[in-house]
Amino acid sequence: MHDLLNRFDRSTIPSFAGLAELPAVEVDSFTAISAEARAQIVSRYQRHGICLIAAKNRTVTDDSINAVAAALALGPTFTPSLYRGTAAMSDGIARMCADNRTAQMAHPSFDSTKGQPLHSDGTLESIGEVKTSLLLCVQPAHSGGTTFFVNTTAIFAELADSDPAAAAALMHPHALVRVSNLPGAARSVSIGPGLSTVDGDLLTRLSLTPTDSWQIPDDEDGLALMRALATMIRGRRERDPRYYVEFSLEQGMGVLFANDRLGHGRHDYTNSDTRTRRMIRGLFTTRPSNAAVGALTGRQETHR
């Protein structure tokens, strides 16, 4: 397992340096993104794994997801197998709002005001399948609801140098078990590594939610895995700016991020009679790309 630690390209790991101070990339609307804005979005995604976008008209509709996807050559939205044929995400767009709750269908995360622990989207799929997530804010909560990101691949890269056994434990092919909990859907189970390498890319599906369980043996490998998980949790709790950043999305703002290179979550929030948090999300199996980037920067970017 330790030989895998030398098989990833560190240049593809996002850097959070300076990320918190960057303003959002402004666009006229999510359906009118200029070539210059597209280039900025792609560049920030490649460097930081995250790009904030703000629409001047502050308007978000279901069409906004598809419009941004078209502008960035992301292709169609991806519907995870769990949601196919269900109302939760039937058209490839997830609608997140606590008011969506009904007696027949209540998504335990989308329809809750409780925070979401550190996780990756699409953990029931193969690692790396969901490469990109796009989250757009229709309306923020009355208070709370901040979205946070943890640079799990950067933490792993440092762990590989300082504690190779711990890093290797995260890559065990049976380390992480994810069990679905969507009411009304057939039970699904996915077993795989927390992190792995695919074609030289270091990818993550590391998640620490109640539906995730880590297989910890009662030996040295188990101790190594516990050290690794403790390191990841410290990255989340200590809010070291090298590994942690958070954003409060206002109406008409969105965040595009590399789901297979970062972990993310959400803090608790409170709605009011006049402010109900409403978000929409699209998942994609590709990374953003734009032919105009090469012309604007004087070089052709590689989108891995």
The domain that holds 95 is classified in CATH as 3.60.130.10
Question: pLDDT tens, 266-287?
Answer: 999 999 989 999 999 999 999 9
Range of the domain at 249: 2-297
Question: pLDDT tens, 35-63?
Answer: 999 999 999 999 999 999 999 999 999 89
User: Considering the domain boundaries, does residue 302 fall inside one?
Assistant: no
Residue 97's closest CA among 271, 264, 214?
Answer: 271
Question: pLDDT tens, 185-195?
Answer: 667 888 999 99
Question: pLDDT tens, 220-271?
Answer: 999 999 999 999 999 999 999 999 999 999 999 999 999 999 999 999 999 9
204 touches 195 (CB < 8 A): yes
Total domains in the chain come to 1
User: Considering the domain boundaries, does residue 144 fall inside one?
Assistant: yes
In this prediction the pTM is 0.89
DSSP category for residue 174: T
User: Considering the domain boundaries, does residue 52 fall inside one?
Assistant: yes
Residue 86 pLDDT level (bands cut at 50, 70, 90): low
- CA dist., res. 161 & res. 158, Å (int): 5
User: Considering the domain boundaries, does residue 64 fall inside one?
Assistant: yes
Query: Is the dihedral angle over the CA atoms 81, 111, 280, 176 positive or is it negative?
Result: negative
First to last CA, the chain: 24
- CA dist., res. 94 & res. 121, Å (int): 12
User: Considering the domain boundaries, does residue 247 fall inside one?
Assistant: yes
User: Considering the domain boundaries, does residue 82 fall inside one?
Assistant: yes
User: Considering the domain boundaries, does residue 303 fall inside one?
Assistant: no
